[in-house]
Every structure is written in structure tokens, then in C-alpha cells.
Structure 1
Amino acid sequence: MTSSWSLRRRRSLADEARATTTAPPRIAVLTIARDEGEMLARWVAHYGRAAGHENLIVFDDGSTDGSTDDLPCTVQRLPGFRKGNFEAGRMSLASGVAQGLLGIYDVVIFTDVDEFLVPDPARYADLSDYLASRPERVIAPFALNVVHHTTIEGPLVSGKPIVGQRAYAQFAPLMCKPSIKRVSAAWTNASHGIKAPYVPDPGLFMVHMKFADLDLLRRQADRRNQLAMSVGRGKGSSWGRSGDDLAGLLTATTAAAAASTGGDVPEFDPTSVLPARLVREEDGVHRAVGPGHIDNLRNQPLLRIPERLHGIV
């Protein structure tokens, strides 16, 4: 549930933002989706509030669940990525479209449908206010993998914000990726890298929902695992795991992590992380570094999501 403090604070910041004479940046937001009905509607609603639905583009990679029908934004249906060229094709598409859009827009954002960028509400009114205040050419967030603590949290209630229903997360260094840019530098490494320097900003959060619900994780993992087996997508990633495998891992690791704290789970503190250590440069590519999803889930400590983020996504 959203705290009264955070509601009052966000309203105050919004009033301050409206009082400024600075023109808001023109923001375009992109994603590529396939059968992501559970999260896509939330993605469209979240970024539609931030940038305007008319400035969102969803590239539909062959969905069969009807999730891209009748969306209040632009939907471009793709003929399909070439076999064995999924990630390279995704990055080429996202980077090429972003380069063109930067001739019109001030900022382009690219995320997966389960990745939600949230400026710290203690400092910014909303994403437009944040971007008006941050002139960096490339911006990356501090990422939190939201987790379903199945011992004490039930299934998600549809139509209500996830953060608040879910109170726990793990810091995810690899997800502190360059999702926002004002330059044509290409994204690489499944969007975890870019050909331009950046340092992740503790004033911007990404809440990543891959592990936010046990049943959703199981269904989505099975869909991706089928693609991994049939057309070779996601080789060497969690796409090679079945839904039951990942669901069991989530249940076991959250229970073990909670037990290790004795029930006293600390709140995530962005000041505890050194941003420069989250990025490595090699051959002109600057990329987020850290463990993959499975190792992150197994080894990162359990943290409470800051209360000021509850109710936003």
C-alpha cells in the first residue's frame, strides 16, 4: 500500500514541476514483445503516463496471445527474427529505430516489457521531471529484481500496482543497463552495453518484474524455454530453464534469504553501492557487469523495496 508520506511528497513534487518554465523533454519509448500479455498492459500504462501513449512503440515479434491487439500506442508487427540472429537482430532494430527517432525526440528509452524505470520520488516528480534535470547523453538506473516471497506473499491482484503487493527485491548489477539515451550510439550485449560512456544513477530505479510472481514466472519461463528448444533463442541464459525449475529456485532462494536475516530484512540503500563499479569498458563498449539472473537470485541478499516506491508500478 502506498504510504501517505510518499503520496504527499509526489504531489508536492508534481506541483513544483508544473511551476517550472523548463520545457519537458520529448520522450520516445520502445519495447519488443512476444506473448507478454501479463506485463505488456502494465508497460503501456506506465510509460504512457510518463511519455504519452502516442510516443510508445511496441514491436510485436509474432505474438499469438492477442496482447498487442487494440493497444493505445503504435504497434509494429515484425515478420520474425532470423534463426540464430535473435539478439543481434533485436539490438540492430532497437538501435536503428532509436537513431531515427532522435532526429525528432530529445530522449529514447528502450526496455523489456517487465522493466519499469522509476525516478526516486523523494527527488523527482516523474520521469519527465527527471529527464529535464539530467542532461547526460546516456543514463542507466539502479536496478532491483522484485521477487515473490512466497512464504508470506500471495498471488498478484490484477489491476493493482505490483510494488506494494511485493515488498522484497535483490539488487541486480547486470540490470543497471543503459536504457536511456540522447545519442545515436548503438546498444549491444542484449541492451546491457552501449558504445558510449555512462555511470548508473542512484536517483533512478529500475524495478524488474521477471521474478515478481511465481505463477507468471512459471508460465513465461515455459514459453521462453520452448523458444530456446525450437529455434535456439537465449542460449546460455535462463531461457534454458523450465518454468517449474525457475519457480522452485525462486521459492527456495527467497525462503533461504529471509531465514538468513532472521526476519530483519534491511531496506535497499542506493548510497551503499559505488556506481562506477557497475560498468566495464572494453573496445569502446561500456556495459553493465554482474551475475546473470540465476546467480543473482541465488547469491544476492534479500532487501526491502524502499517504501517510497510502493504503489508506483
Structure 2
Amino acid sequence: MQGLMGSGMPWGRYDDMFAGWASKVVADHLDLGVKTGAPYIRHNKASNPFTNLKKEYMGLFWQEDIIAFFQKVRFSSSAKTPQECYLELAEMIRANLSHLNEYFSRLATAMKIWIEQWDRAQNSEIIFRPSRQNRRKSTNSSFAVLTICRNEPGYLPIWLKYYRRYFADGDIYILDNDSDDGSTANLSVNVIRVHSEKYFDHYWLVGTVQNHTRNLLESGYKYVLFCEIDEIVVPDPAKYPLGLIDYINRTKLMVVRVKAYDIRHNVSLEPKLKLNESILQQRRYWMRHANYDKPLLTNIALHWVPGFHSCQEPATKDENLIMFHLQRMDHDFYTKRADWKSRQNLKMDDIKKGMGVQHAFRGERAENFFKEITGEISEIPIRYRSMAIF
């Protein structure tokens, strides 16, 4: 904000106050738990502002108008995300504060530009490069996240968008199992090429992931989270409001087993999923899937069974660490992907042994699998859906 003022017109301490007021009215509108009531931060004139008069004198005159402005801010009922609120707020600033100084018009424009860039970054169209990107993981970065995939243009952006909220690109690792569709090209995260003769060779898959998990731990990471490309691990926001890293920082467990739910598409009530929008705000139901209570977060090397459903090492299930399984989140997305997957060079010996049988489904068998109910279906708690976690 301060840089927008131009030479000779610094905003001083008021840039922080303005940003705080803006964040507060947005948070109040979205019921996100900050202090309620009218904006209350005011310049303390007893601090002798004349000491820094040249720096702050404009703020002294403007603050009364600005405080009154924020006290009157009301967002439309259609503003349901922080981005939508900030875009509305930018137009209010332009309409109601520009008479004070041209700066506020520039500020409104800058707010809109920032939201546009933020949305692009969340959709993986551009990459924010944090100052910590070149840090040494062995000394400064405690946690890493790992997945493996092949040709996942649908799932990969969703997976990246969520985990980038908590991990720097340098701490995100994708084992690229022979992708040839461009979905893993030009990513700023760590993309490691791996090759298998067959698609979904379960013993090769588990061995490859085990080795890379062990290597990451030996390189200095305290914890590694492994999750497949259709798995989103979310701690209960009521207990861990700061999200995944907050959970990992606070856990005392060596190996954590998640509590798993399938997101289920109620085709008769819910429209086709828009993959570039919040998944949880478009889906209302989940199904308990105990078979997917996998040991996924670890600070020791693990020896998983094929499918990663269990491991040789002791693992403790934490009811507060939820894994959302995306496989059946949308009918059309699932059937299209199932048809593609069933035509890959699958390892038939694994399927004959009952491993990954669902990967061969297409047509009527895929439809039946999509509709199959194997656990209790209930509404996803509002604390997950209202915050647009992913």
C-alpha cells in the first residue's frame, strides 16, 4: 500500500491499520471468528504525531473518513469468499474514498489486480516464489509432502492447489510415473521421473514410494506426508484452525493413520463439478471409508503393504486427521477417467490377486462401482464446507 502513494506522500503506520480494517470487515462478513463489532483501531494522538508530521500528517486528516467508511461497509449476500469480498470492497473504496486522494483509486485497482493474481496462483496458472524457496531442507524445512501420478490433468491441479497452501514448492515432491500429457511439465515443485513397465504395478509402486519417503527423511525432513493424487488430508479445522502444518507441528505421534471419507456425488441433487472451484462447496455428502484409514504421515521409514492401507510399523489413527478421497466426487469425471485407466497397460497378475481390481472397470462395471455404498453416508460438517478448505 505504502508504495502506491508515490514520492513525498508516505502512508506511514496507516497502511497497516487500513489493511487490518479491510481484513476485519471481510472476516466479520464471512463469520471467520475474529473480534466482532465496528473497527476500533484509532491513531493515538497522545503519541505526539508531530514528531513524524511529515510522514503521517495526511493520515491524521484521512482517518476519520476512513473509520466511518469501514463502519458502514456492507457486503452483498453473493460475496461468499474472501476474494469476492475484497473485489466488492475495492469498488466501495473507489466510490467513497477517492475524493480524499487519487491514492485510494490506485489502491482499489491494486486490490483487484492482487485478487486476480491470487486466483491465478491458486489455480496453478502462475507461481508465487516465496523468499524461502532456496532454503536448505536439511536445516530449515521440517516437513515434506509426496505423491505419485501419471497423466492426471484433473486431479493434479486440485492436489497442488491445496498442498501449496502449507508447503513451499521446494518441499513438494511428485513422482511422475511416465506422464506424457504435459500435466507435470513446467512445474516449480520437485518432479522426479520414475518408470514402470506396467501401470499400477502395486509392488513396484509401494517400493518406489517407500524408497523416496526414506530418502526424504534421511535428507533432514522431520515428517513426510505421502498421499495419492486423489487424497486430500485435512485436520479438523475446529481443533487446528491454521491447517495442516499446525497439525504436524503439534502431533506427538510417529506414524499417523488418517480417518478416511469418500466425497460422494449425489447425481440427483448436485450438478456437474467445476474442477476450478472449491470442491467442498459443491459437494454436500461423504461416505465413511474405513478401508482407506491409511498410515500417511510419518517421521520414520515405513514398509507399506500394496495399496498403502497398512504398514509393518505401529501406526496410530487420529480421528482429527481427515482424508478426503476424491475418486467418486463427480460422476462424469469418474467415468471418463475410469475408461482411460482401464485401457492402460495394467499388471493383470495384480488384478488376478485382487489388487486394484477397480482400475479395470469401465462401462456398466464402472457405473456400478460409482454407485456402490460400503459405509455410512452423511452430510459433510459445515466447518469443512464453509471455509472452502479445497
Q: Same fold (TM over 0.5)?
A: yes
Q: 2:375 — aligned with what?
A: 300
Task: Say which of 134, 138, 143 aligns to 1:27.
Answer: 143
Q: 1:95 — aligned with what?
A: 210
CA contact (8 A) 1:37 1:67 kept: yes
Question: Equivalences for 1:215-226 in 2 at 5 Å?
Answer: 215-226=332-343
CA contact (8 A) 1:44 1:53 kept: no
Of Structure 1 and Structure 2, the greater strand share is in 1
Per-residue deviation, 1:246: 2.2
- Alpha-carbon distance between aligned partners in 1 of 2:369 and 2:200, rounded to the nearest angstrom: 29
Q: 1:245 — aligned with what?
A: 365
- Alpha-carbon distance between aligned partners in 1 of 2:149 and 2:288, rounded to the nearest angstrom: 25
Q: In the TM superposition, what whole-angstrom CA distance separates every residue of 1:140-159 from its partner, at most 9, and x where no partner exists?
A: 11111001110010011232
Could you say what the CA RMSD is over the residues aligned between the two structures, in angstroms? 2.5
Per-residue deviation, 1:36: 1.0
Q: In the TM superposition, what whole-angstrom CA distance separates every residue of 1:14-36 from its partner, at most 9, and x where no partner exists?
A: xxxxxxxxx99711111110111
- Alpha-carbon distance between aligned partners in 2 of 1:175 and 1:204, rounded to the nearest angstrom: 13
1:162 aligns with 2:264: no
CA contact (8 A) 2:286 2:380 kept: yes
Q: In the TM superposition, what whole-angstrom CA distance separates every residue of 1:47-72 from its partner, at most 9, and x where no partner exists?
A: 11122221111111112221111223
> Match for 1:73: what amino acid?
V
CA contact (8 A) 1:102 1:184 kept: yes
Larger Rg: 2
Per-residue deviation, 1:231: 4.4
Aligned partner of residue 32 in structure 2, secondary structure: helix
Aligned partner of residue 224 in structure 1, secondary structure: helix
Aligned partner of residue 152 in structure 1, secondary structure: coil
Task: Say which of 293, 306, 313 aligns to 1:196.
Answer: 313
Task: Say which of 162, 170, 177 aligns to 1:54.
Answer: 170
Per-residue deviation, 1:240: 2.2
> Match for 2:384: what amino acid?
L
- Alpha-carbon distance between aligned partners in 1 of 2:384 and 2:161, rounded to the nearest angstrom: 17
- Alpha-carbon distance between aligned partners in 2 of 1:140 and 1:147, rounded to the nearest angstrom: 22
CA contact (8 A) 2:233 2:323 kept: yes
Per-residue deviation, 1:185: 2.4
Aligned partner of residue 287 in structure 2, secondary structure: strand
CA contact (8 A) 2:158 2:275 kept: no
Q: 1:282 — aligned with what?
A: none
Q: 2:15 — aligned with what?
A: none
Closer, same or farther: CA 223–146 of 1 in aligned 2, 3 Å = same
- Alpha-carbon distance between aligned partners in 2 of 1:127 and 1:67, rounded to the nearest angstrom: 25
Q: In the TM superposition, what whole-angstrom CA distance separates every residue of 1:261-302 from its partner, at most 9, and x where no partner exists?
A: xxxxxxxxxxxxxxxxxxxxxxxxxxxxxxxxxxxx323232
> Match for 1:312: what amino acid?
I
CA contact (8 A) 2:200 2:347 kept: no
Task: Say which of 20, 26, 32 aligns to 1:8.
Answer: 32
Per-residue deviation, 1:217: 0.4
Structure of greater relative contact order (alpha carbons < 8 Å, 6+ residues apart): 1
Question: Equivalences for 1:175-186 in 2 at 5 Å?
Answer: 175-186=292-303
Q: 2:73 — aligned with what?
A: none
Q: In the TM superposition, what whole-angstrom CA distance separates every residue of 1:184-243 from its partner, at most 9, and x where no partner exists?
A: 122222211112112211111101100001111011111221126x54386132112105
Closer, same or farther: CA 8–67 of 1 in aligned 2, 3 Å = same
- Alpha-carbon distance between aligned partners in 1 of 2:329 and 2:280, rounded to the nearest angstrom: 9
> Match for 1:63: what amino acid?
S
Q: 2:182 — aligned with what?
A: 66
Q: 1:147 — aligned with what?
A: 264
Provide structure 1 residue ranges, at least 5 long, that are not aligned to the other structure.
13-22, 254-296
Aligned partner of residue 51 in structure 1, secondary structure: coil
Aligned partner of residue 102 in structure 1, secondary structure: helix
Closer, same or farther: CA 129–6 of 1 in aligned 2, 3 Å = farther
